[in-house]
């Protein structure tokens, strides 16, 4: 069993951005996550503790200003998690990674080197931490993947992005994940099934299957 301490840390007013390890203690997500994680661990040491990242708004040790809510783990390079609070074997870092169907205004989505710039960005934002021994389990990712919902048809560039993301997970051997979403009534992404809630959307399933099959082969 695991507990996600807080979903998608972000500013609600465009001013008071969550920070990591610096600034006002009221905005320091590292401090809050460690204290919450410690309380959880003391109550039940068997529970996994999921900690999301922050978003934009931190200059110190955060090279990029364009990220989804909860995607930014760059400041851990300067301010690591204190394992006195959350044991390393109980800590799960859980970024949320989305593309143009959810938030098209990220600057590097319109860069000339798209989509080749995507994997280096993900590596900067969170992927580098696998080399430091942290466990990464994406808490959300997904898109319309070219399908149509009541808010329109998905951006073809997001299909490319989702393909690149699965390739990246394979390269990093990130084999555990949570996908958004199964249900078809998510306006931003649609679901893994049609509006009847039963018929699978084969294109989405096939893309996820690439990762699942790779990971199964590694286990065998």
Name residue 123's beta-bridge partners: none
- In the 8-state DSSP scheme, what is residue 162? H
> Given this model, what pLDDT does residue 57 score?
65
Residue 58 reports pLDDT greater than 80: no
Percentage of the chain beyond pLDDT 70 is 100
When divided into structural domains, the chain yields a total of 1
Q: State the Cα–Cα distance between residues 45 and 1, nearest whole angstrom.
A: 11
- Consecutive H or E run containing 136: strand 135-136
> Would you call 91 helix, strand, or coil by DSSP?
strand
Q: What pLDDT does 153 receive?
A: 94
Catalytic residues: 8, 140
**pLDDT for 203 beyond 90:** yes
Instruction: Give the C-alpha separation, 63 to 171, whole Å.
Output: 23
What is the rounded CA–CA span in Å between residue 138 and residue 69? 12
Measure Cα distances from 208 to 75, 113, 170, 180 in Å.
Answer: 30, 25, 11, 12
Q: What is the pTM of this model?
A: 0.96
What are 12-43's pLDDT values in tens digits? 888 889 999 988 899 999 999 999 999 999 99
What's the whole-number mean pLDDT along residues 61-67?
84
CA 184 to the chain's CA centroid: 20
Task: Report pLDDT digits (tens) over 78-94.
Answer: 999 999 999 999 999 99
**Crossing angle for the helix pair 156-172 and 118-125, to the nearest 10 degrees:** 50
Q: What is the pLDDT of residues 117-151, one digit of tens each?
A: 999 999 999 999 999 999 999 999 999 999 988 88
Bridge partners (DSSP) of residue 153 are: 148
What pLDDT score does 202 carry? 98
For 38, 146, 187, the CA distances from 158, given in Å and listed in that order, are 38, 8, 15
- pLDDT band (50, 70, 90) for residue 100: very high
Confidence of residue 62 (pLDDT cuts 50, 70, 90): confident
- Which residues form the domain of 19? 2-219
What CATH number has the domain bearing residue 208? Answer: 3.20.20.80
């Amino acid at each position: 069993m695991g507990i996600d301490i807080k979903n998608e840390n972000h500013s609600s007013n465009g001013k008071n951005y969550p920070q990591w390890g610096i600034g006002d203690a009221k905005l320091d997500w590292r401090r809050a996550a460690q204290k919450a994680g410690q309380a959880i661990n003391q109550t039940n040491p068997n529970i996994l503790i999921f900690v999301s990242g922050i978003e934009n708004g931190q200059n110190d040790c955060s090279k990029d200003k364009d990220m989804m809510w909860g995607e930014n783990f760059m400041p851990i390079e300067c301010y690591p998690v204190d394992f006195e609070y959350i044991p390393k074997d109980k800590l799960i870092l859980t970024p949320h990674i989305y593309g143009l169907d959810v938030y098209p205004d990220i600057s590097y989505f319109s860069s000339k080197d798209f989509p080749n710039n995507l994997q280096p960005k993900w590596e900067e934002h969170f992927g580098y931490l696998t080399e430091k021994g942290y466990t990464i389990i994406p808490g959300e990712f997904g898109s319309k993947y070219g399908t149509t919902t009541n808010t329109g048809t998905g951006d073809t560039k997001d299909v490319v992005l989702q393909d690149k993301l699965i390739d990246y997970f394979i390269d990093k051997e990130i084999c555990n994940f949570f996908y958004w979403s199964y249900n078809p009534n998510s306006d931003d992404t649609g679901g893994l099934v049609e509006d009847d809630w039963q018929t699978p959307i084969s294109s989405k399933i096939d893309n996820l299957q690439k990762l699942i099959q790779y990971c199964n082969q590694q286990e065998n």
